[in-house]
């Protein structure tokens, strides 16, 4: 049975056959659309999974960059603290003041005039007057201290006591004892001749007290008596 008819010389397709053709085509497109939608869903799932992985990668990348920055900061701080400690500054407060003063001064300079911390510390150490006021009490010029030490050495040498000079001074300040005036004419008790009038002067209590041994020797010598164990 033909699906076409001819009318007035023109061939027409029957309506029933046209409906079947349209239905078949719609079914074919519907099948393709369903397949495409299924594939699209699969692709979307993969995209979502990839996006999650990409987000994780981005997060890990940010963490790595953050840790890298912290490491750089830690290394820079360690290098700064090493440089500062070379000049005898170990107190945390003073060290923070040095870093603050350095950063403040470098920010006020042109980029070409900026210098590393080590060069800046050397400059203010050699010329403390150029250092910020907050750091001057903690910075001393090495040359000044060396000159002070060199100037102190001659003074210490000049002030070193001389034992011989001290002995001479002591001898000058402490001359040998002089016999009392009441002993005039009496020989010292060292074996020298005894004056003849020593017994006559023995009646003087002061003279007797000061010349007791000489009077005793003169008495036994002039009387010819033997020496007595008893004392006068």
DSSP letter, residue 229: S
Q: How far apart are CA 186 and CA 212, in angstroms?
A: 11
Pull the structure tokens for residue 79: 């290098």
Question: How many residues belong to the chain?
Answer: 232
pLDDT at residue 67 greater than cutoff 90: yes
CB 70 within 8 A of CB 88: no
Q: pTM score, two decimals?
A: 0.38
User: What mean pLDDT comes out for the span 149-173?
Assistant: 49
Neighbouring-strand partners of residue 5? 12
Q: Is residue 87 helix, strand or coil? A: coil
pLDDT at residue 198 greater than cutoff 50: yes
Neighbours of 228 (CB within 10 A): 10
pLDDT tens, position by position, 103-149: 999 998 898 999 999 999 999 989 988 888 888 888 865 554 445 45
CB 210 within 8 A of CB 182: yes
Q: How far apart are CA 232 and CA 228, in angstroms?
A: 9
Q: Nearest 10 degrees: CA dihedral of 221, 222, 227, 231?
A: -110
36 to each of 25, 46, 173, how far by Cα in Å? 16, 15, 128
Q: How far apart are CA 122 and CA 106, in angstroms?
A: 15
pLDDT at residue 180 greater than cutoff 60: no
**Between residues 174 and 98, the one the model is more confident about:** 98
Confidence of residue 1 (pLDDT cuts 50, 70, 90): low
pLDDT at residue 164 greater than cutoff 50: no
CA atoms within 13 A on the CB side of 165: 4
Orientation angle between helical segments 117-126 and 15-85, nearest 10 degrees: 20
Q: How far apart are CA 149 and CA 147, in angstroms?
A: 5
pLDDT at residue 55 greater than cutoff 80: yes
Confidence of residue 170 (pLDDT cuts 50, 70, 90): very low
User: What mean pLDDT comes out for the span 152-177?
Assistant: 48
Check residue 211 and give its pLDDT.
83
Confidence of residue 219 (pLDDT cuts 50, 70, 90): confident
Tokens 């987000």 belong to residue: 55
Pull the structure tokens for residue 118: 């080590």
Nearest to 132 by CA among 118, 121, 145, 141: 121
Check residue 186 and give its pLDDT.
45
pLDDT at residue 176 greater than cutoff 60: no
Nearest to 128 by CA among 115, 119, 139, 117: 139
User: What mean pLDDT comes out for the span 41-60?
Assistant: 88
């Amino acid at each position: 049975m033909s699906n076409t008819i001819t009318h007035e010389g023109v061939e027409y397709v029957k309506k029933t056959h046209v409906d079947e053709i349209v239905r078949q085509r719609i079914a074919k497109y519907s099948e393709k659309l369903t397949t495409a939608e299924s594939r699209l869903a699969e692709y979307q799932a993969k995209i979502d999974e990839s996006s999650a992985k990409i987000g994780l990668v981005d997060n890990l990348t940010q963490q790595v960059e953050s840790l890298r920055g912290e490491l750089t900061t830690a290394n820079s701080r360690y290098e700064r603290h090493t440089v500062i400690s070379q000049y005898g500054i170990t107190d945390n407060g003073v060290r923070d003041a040095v870093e603050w003063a350095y950063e403040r001064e470098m920010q006020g300079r042109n980029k070409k005039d900026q210098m590393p911390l080590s060069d800046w510390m050397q400059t203010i150490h050699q010329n403390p007057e150029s250092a910020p006021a907050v750091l001057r009490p903690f910075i001393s010029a090495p040359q000044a201290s060396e000159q002070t030490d060199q100037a102190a050495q001659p003074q210490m040498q000049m002030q070193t006591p001389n034992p011989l000079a001290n002995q001479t001074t002591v001898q000058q300040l402490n001359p040998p004892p002089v016999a009392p005036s009441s002993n005039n004419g009496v020989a010292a008790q060292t074996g020298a001749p005894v004056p003849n009038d020593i017994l006559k002067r023995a009646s003087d209590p002061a003279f007797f007290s000061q010349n007791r041994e000489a009077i005793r020797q003169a008495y036994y010598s002039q009387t010819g008596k033997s020496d007595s164990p008893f004392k006068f």
